[in-house]
């Protein structure tokens, strides 16, 4: 350990720097880490590194009839950002319900009770990008 400390002193870096995750991260299409925030008929992929504490980005594919459930829930984050890339998502908050179409974005406090559902036509999947800050 003394040798490691000496080398770091010569290089002018902290020892902890050697153990920090890289500052950049590339996740190729379809290669996100599978996660499960709950809900039914949904496939979720984490697009940010698990070590990233400032921001969490998730790609969700919501099958027809898929939802976050009937009960409103909260997440331990300051803000949630929702961007629908395909079809339509119904986002239900305590005081309102919003239809978010492909190309639309919606931002709300993450601690506000909410749920969501695929509101697309027929057998259409809904594709959603969620950004949560800080990461819950």
126 vs 120: CA distance, rounded Å: 7
Q: What is the pLDDT of residue 18?
A: 57
pTM of the predicted model over 0.85? no
Question: What percent of the chain is predicted at pLDDT more than 90?
Answer: 68
What is the pLDDT of the chain when averaged over all its residues?
89
pLDDT tops 80 at residue 85: yes
- pLDDT of amino acid 107: 98
| Domains detected in the chain | 27-133 (2.60.120.10)
């Amino acid at each position: 350990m003394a040798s490691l400390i000496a080398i770091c002193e010569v290089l002018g870096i902290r020892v902890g720097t050697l153990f920090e995750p890289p500052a950049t991260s590339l996740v190729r299409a379809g290669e996100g880490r599978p996660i499960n925030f709950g809900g039914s008929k949904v496939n979720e992929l984490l697009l940010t590194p698990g070590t990233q504490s400032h921001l969490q980005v998730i790609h969700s594919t919501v099958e027809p009839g898929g939802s976050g459930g009937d009960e409103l829930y909260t997440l331990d984050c300051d803000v949630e950002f929702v961007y629908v890339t395909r079809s339509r998502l119904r986002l239900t908050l305590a005081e309102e319900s919003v239809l978010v179409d492909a190309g639309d974005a919606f931002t709300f406090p993450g601690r506000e009770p909410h749920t969501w559902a695929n509101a697309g036509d027929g057998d259409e999947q809904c594709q959603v990008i969620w950004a949560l800050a800080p990461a819950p």
